[in-house]
């Protein structure tokens, strides 16, 4: 079930009060329009009718796709009282933790394509290593975009540029990462797992040392 909470918030620009609907839980099946908003990255858009101020107003939320069997908590670590606990009845579904809307969108796209996000992070790790070396910059971000004819496509963001460039990696590289994962006997923890560059490089190092 999706959860809506009406709240009065102060506009950060003019201080005027505005009624805001906080959506603390999104059910992808019941509310496909909310899923669309996440994929368009407009989910947290805030606009003040009094002064016209526009920005993003982010708050913790949880995305649940009961059909595909995954749940993603969006919250920043360390933020008091915002940690999303997994109900006991949802022990057998894939649970992930992300810190912003771009990461949430990426996870949805990965799981909608029935891909393994841990393996995707490992592929991304190798891709970023190459890009960072060839461009001599550490400030490059990559997000899964689609599974296409040319393999796994990533949207690459270079520092200071908000228009992505697309880069594809052969599907075999991904398949290879899945094999590495099973050889490492990687197991899903019971709690919300952060699957990002740290986990990917830890797993790749573990594999190199075996
Ligand atoms: Zn305002």
Rounded to two decimals, the pTM is: 0.91
The pLDDT value recorded for residue 81 is 45
Give 42 Cα–ligand 1 centroid separation in angstroms.
19
Q: pLDDT tens-digit profile of 23-36?
A: 999 999 999 999 99
Are 27 and 1 spatial neighbours (Cβ–Cβ below 8 Å)?
yes
Give 6 Cα–ligand 1 centroid separation in angstroms.
18
Give 8 Cα–ligand 1 centroid separation in angstroms.
13
Q: pLDDT tens-digit profile of 139-183?
A: 999 999 999 999 999 999 998 888 999 999 999 999 999 999 999
Give 7 Cα–ligand 1 centroid separation in angstroms.
16
Give 33 Cα–ligand 1 centroid separation in angstroms.
26
Give 43 Cα–ligand 1 centroid separation in angstroms.
19
* Cβ-based neighbours of 38, under 8 Å, separated by 6 or more: 26, 63, 101, 104, 105, 108
* Cβ-based neighbours of 13, under 8 Å, separated by 6 or more: 48, 51, 53
Nearest to 43 by CA among 31, 53, 51: 31
DSSP label at residue 14: T
Q: How far is CA 91 from the centre of its chain?
A: 20
Q: pLDDT truncated to tens, each residue of the chain (210 aa)?
A: 899 999 999 999 999 999 999 999 999 999 999 999 999 999 999 999 999 999 999 999 999 999 999 999 999 765 544 455 656 566 679 999 999 999 999 999 999 999 999 999 999 999 999 999 998 888 999 999 999 999 999 999 998 888 999 999 999 999 999 999 999 999 888 889 999 999 999 999 999 998
The pLDDT value recorded for residue 127 is 94
Give 9 Cα–ligand 1 centroid separation in angstroms.
10
Give 57 Cα–ligand 1 centroid separation in angstroms.
13
Give 13 Cα–ligand 1 centroid separation in angstroms.
5
Are 105 and 26 spatial neighbours (Cβ–Cβ below 8 Å)?
no
How far apart CA 79 and CA 144 sit, in angstroms, is: 27
Give 52 Cα–ligand 1 centroid separation in angstroms.
6
């Amino acid at each position: 079930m999706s959860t809506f909470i009406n709240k009065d918030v102060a506009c950060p620009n003019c201080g005027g009060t505005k009624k805001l609907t906080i959506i603390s839980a999104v059910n992808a099946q019941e509310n496909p329009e909310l899923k669309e908003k996440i994929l368009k990255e407009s989910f947290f858009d805030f606009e003040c009718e009094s002064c016209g101020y526009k920005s993003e107003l982010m708050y913790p939320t949880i995305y649940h796709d009961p059909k595909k069997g995954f749940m993603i908590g969006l919250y920043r670590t360390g933020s008091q009282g915002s940690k999303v606990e997994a109900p006991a009845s949802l022990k057998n579904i894939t649970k992930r933790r992300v810190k912003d809307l771009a990461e949430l969108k990426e996870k949805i796209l990965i799981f909608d394509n029935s891909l393994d996000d841990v393996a995707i992070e490992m592929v991304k790790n190798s891709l970023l290593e190459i890009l960072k070396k060839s461009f001599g910059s550490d400030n490059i971000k990559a997000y899964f975009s689609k599974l296409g004819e040319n393999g796994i496509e990533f949207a690459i963001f270079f520092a200071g540029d908000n228009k992505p460039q697309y880069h594809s990696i052969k599907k075999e590289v991904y398949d290879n990462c899945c094999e590495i994962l099973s050889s490492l006997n990687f197991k899903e923890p019971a709690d919300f797992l952060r699957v990002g560059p740290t986990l990917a490089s830890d797993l790749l190092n573990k594999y190199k040392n075996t």
